[in-house]
Chain A
Amino acid sequence: GDSVTQTEGQVALSEEDFLTIHCNYSASGYPALFWYVQYPGEGPQFLFRASRDKEKGSSRGFEATYDKGTTSFHLRKASVQESDSAVYYCALGENNYAQGLTFGLGTRVSVFP
């Protein structure tokens, strides 16, 4: 079945550091890829998506590029702030849309002032 692997379980950074969270996927078809963010005490929120090879998704200073060759969708942000402290989920959705999203296990990002 489909799966999403996030390499980092936890990341600790200082403000203005560069953030990278690695996401790799395995899917039988040509899935759409997503990033969701979950702030403490809240449900996950859609961040952005990409649906084609080499397409870049972005929002709130975060970005990721769909790479079909390496089956990756790594999340990056150039300069993090304390308010970016959250859990980030990479997810994929197959084009039949019938079974919803497959989420990775999440990466907890802690940004310290």
Chain B
Amino acid sequence: DMKVTQMPRYLIKRMGENVLLECGQDMSHETMYWYRQDPGLGLQLIYISYDVDSNSEGDIPKGYRVSRKKREHFSLILDSAKTNQTSVYFCASSLSLGGLSSYEQYFGPGTRLTVL
């Protein structure tokens, strides 16, 4: 069963704390993404990873960094979280870059992060 998992599903942190969001996929997809979703702003791309240790900034990378050491895992890190990073974060994956299948993204269930 093709699946993208995210952990944790809910997280509450205080401003200034570090945050680690984890994502896994079992489809051997090369490309993975991190998005955030906010009311009125839709889905905004934070980072893309084309494969292990091959990452690229998306539209809103400031305040975030990523790590991908295995093809099936992609982490989003917030060093010293800020209140404006309160959001729902989605991870997604897709087949290899190139061709329309690259755009058929499989999304995880999301992580709701609250920064107090």
A interface secondary structure, majority: loop
A11 to chain B, nearest CB (A): 16
Q: Do the beta carbons of A103 and B109 come within 8 Å of each other? A: no
User: How many B residues, CB 8 Å from partner?
Assistant: 25
- Contact (Cβ within 8 A) A97 B99: yes
Chain B residue contacts of A79, Cβ below 8 A: none
A25-78 at interface with B (beta carbon < 8 Å): 32, 34, 41-46, 49, 51
Is the CB–CB distance between B109 and A41 below 8 Å?
yes
Contacts known (A44-B107, A97-B103); A103 close to B42, Cβ less than 8 A: yes
0/1 interface trace, chain B 42-59, chain A, CB 8 Å (1 if under): 110100100000001010
Cβ contacts under 8 Å, A91 to chain B: 103
Instruction: Determine whether the beta carbon of A104 is less than 8 Å from that of B42.
Output: yes
Residues of A within 8 A of B48 (CB): 98-100
Q: Output the nearest chain B residue to A34 by Cβ-Cβ distance.
A: B103
B contact set with A: CB distance below 8 Å:
4, 33, 40-43, 45, 48, 56, 58, 90, 92, 97-100, 102-110
